[in-house]
Amino acid sequence: MIQRLLPFLVLAASLAAKPRNVVFLFSDDHALSAIAAYGPSHLSGFARTPNIDRLAKEGMLFRNCFVHNSICTPSRAGVLTGRHSHRNGVHTLADAIDPQRRHLAHFLRDAGYQTAVFGKWHLHTQPQGFDAWEVFRNQGEYENPVYLSAAHPNGRREQGYSEDLSTQKALDWLGARDPSKPFLLMLHFKAPHRNWIPATRHRERFAGVTLPEPPTLMDDHQGRSVALTRNGQTIGKDFRVRDDLKLDPPDGPKGPELRLWALRELGKRHGGLSEAQAAALAEFDPALYRRWSYQQYAKDYVNTAQAVDDNVGRVLDWLKASGLEQDTVVVYSSDQGFYVGEHGLFDKRWMYEESQRMPLLVRAPGVTKPGSEAKAFAMNLDLAPTLLELCGVAAPSGEAERFDGRSLAPVLRGETPADWRDLVYYRYWEHNSGEHPVPGCYGIRTARFKLIHYHGKPLGMRAANPRPTEPEWELFDLERDPREMRSVYHDPAYAATRDELKARLAAERARIGDSR
């Protein structure tokens, strides 16, 4: 037995003898349904992710990782600070991270790490805590993006595809770093964020192919919050004809005429119709428009995500070729989940599973068992404390920097503590803001149930496009209704469960200090 364990013990001892490097790979809006390692989905066989899957085979895949606030800027701030939105000050897309706020990169740099970030930043201030940084202006562009850097604070446009360019910058930095010091590299992809423009090499992969639809594509949004029926992210209805559907409309048609024209064009592209058959569509059919719009969207989405997987592979190959594979923790995640047709939706924000869940795969040689899975509840707020522990760096103890998240290191070792969390808290603050009128809400998710409260008012937060929203509640039994198609909040059979969960929600809000 000892002889069989000896190679592992030697490896573990050698890894403990020197600091681990960290490569943090972070995409934007990458749905679990579009990652093959997460198993069967309506995109199975089309969303091919062999390089991300390598991390699952060589490390640990987290089945239950959740975001605290499903929108880009707050999620990114949560990852860096390990703190909820009400404690790090980043509630909405419009909020900037305080440049004086210390976070993961500061803590590792103080411990002797070289630090760098490339790609999407979207925190509205220059990156702090990094020795090197080149980040997109605003959300970035897929083709020929503008990068901000210390050398070019006003930006410099570069020729090429965003994911390929950011990855090359990261690899160049790795090659030029001081090899005597450990490093933190954060490579943040733009893809597969809206408006889903694939790299040229991937654009025609599914031409002439009909992708399977999710079972809930034609969801009519009944049986849940009335706010859901007023959402601004229904496939087809809320798509931009030019940017989202990739159609070039003629001058003239507007409103209903434009949608009828788009329906005919989508029919020729995805419905297999002749021009004469398309022209024969004299009336607009919303159901058909949703179905054909989904085909355009889903193809663009998985094709755009393919460039992420390509470049994850480039990084993994570089680490292996450079002899750093066994010395480096590699994390792959995304700022939140995404709807790829489920409930007839695109985007995120709502507290339903496809939005709240986020991918998390961690390869930590000497720590994680290859091919392992974790069912313990994890959050994006756990990533900073986890990486600090894996790097042997003490977590901050002061009130201004103390983490809300908890280190996943024991879970990665296969030793989930007995007092591990059995619920996660969610809070979305952008009350009916912008083009996606999702009401402000908060709630908890347990192993079986999900309780959501739409509080019905902005609570002093930004509300660029407020719409009346009465306070409402939703309760889902995820065991009996995993697709969240019917709220049982008003069902007498769930009265005791409802009251218990409301008490637990109030207790969790008090525990973390979210009182607004």
Which CATH number characterizes residue 361's domain?
3.40.720.10
Residue 384 has pLDDT above 90, yes or no: yes
pLDDT tens, residue by residue, 441-459: 999 999 999 999 998 765 5
112 and 177 assigned to the same domain: yes
Report residue 277's pLDDT band, with 50, 70 and 90 as the boundaries. confident
Considering 14-18, 283-287, 488-492, the range whose residues carry the highest mean pLDDT is: 488-492
Report residue 432's pLDDT band, with 50, 70 and 90 as the boundaries. confident
Residue 456 lies in a domain: no
Among 72, 18, 64, 13, which Cα is nearest to 38's?
Answer: 64
Non-local CB neighbours of 166 within 8 Å, separated by 6+ positions: 118, 119, 134, 187, 188, 189, 190, 311
- Across 51-62, average pLDDT: 98
Give φ, ψ of 410 to 5 degrees: -65, -35
Cβ burial of 10 (10 Å; 0-12, 13-18, 19+) is: exposed
Residue 4 has pLDDT above 70, yes or no: no
83 and 193 assigned to the same domain: yes
pLDDT on residue 449 = 98
Residue 247 lies in a domain: yes
Read off the DSSP letter of residue 382.
G
Residue 465 has pLDDT above 70, yes or no: no
* Integer Cα distance of 257 and 280 in angstroms: 14
- 474 dihedral zone (left: phi>0; alpha: psi -120 to 50; beta): beta
Q: What is the pTM of this model?
A: 0.94
Residue 431 has pLDDT above 90, yes or no: no
Angle between helices 50-58 and 286-321 (to 10 degrees): 60
89 and 162 assigned to the same domain: yes
- Across 486-514, average pLDDT: 98
Sheet holding 132-136, edge to edge: 156-157, 146-149, 132-136, 114-119, 183-188, 21-27, 328-334, 360-363, 60-62, 372-374
150 and 247 assigned to the same domain: no
96 and 154 assigned to the same domain: yes
Among 42, 3, 188, 4, which Cα is nearest to 105's?
Answer: 188
- Across 477-501, average pLDDT: 98
Report helix, strand and coil shares of the chain as percent, to nearest 5. 35, 15, 50
Helix H or strand E encompassing 383: helix 383-390
Residue 467 lies in a domain: no
Residue after which a domain boundary falls, among 412, 444, 465: 412
Residue 220 lies in a domain: no
- Across 91-108, average pLDDT: 97
Residue 249 lies in a domain: yes
Residue 278 lies in a domain: yes
- Lowest-confidence region among 341-345, 349-353, 469-473: 469-473
- Across 495-514, average pLDDT: 98
Domain residues for 80?
20-199+302-335+342-412
pLDDT over 90 percentage in the chain: 85
Residue 6 has pLDDT above 60, yes or no: no
Report residue 466's pLDDT band, with 50, 70 and 90 as the boundaries. low
* Integer Cα distance of 51 and 439 in angstroms: 37
Residue 388 has pLDDT above 60, yes or no: yes
134 and 240 assigned to the same domain: no
55 and 169 assigned to the same domain: yes
Residue 417 has pLDDT above 70, yes or no: yes
Residue 505 lies in a domain: no
Residue 9 has pLDDT above 50, yes or no: no
251 and 164 assigned to the same domain: no
- Lowest-confidence region among 9-18, 136-145, 311-320, 503-512: 9-18
| Average pLDDT over all residues of the chain | 93
- Across 395-411, average pLDDT: 95
104 and 194 assigned to the same domain: yes
128 and 53 assigned to the same domain: yes
pLDDT on residue 435 = 79
113 and 49 assigned to the same domain: yes
Number of domains in the chain: 2
- Lowest-confidence region among 79-93, 153-167, 423-437: 423-437
41 and 114 assigned to the same domain: yes
Residue 96 lies in a domain: yes
Residue 2 has pLDDT above 50, yes or no: no
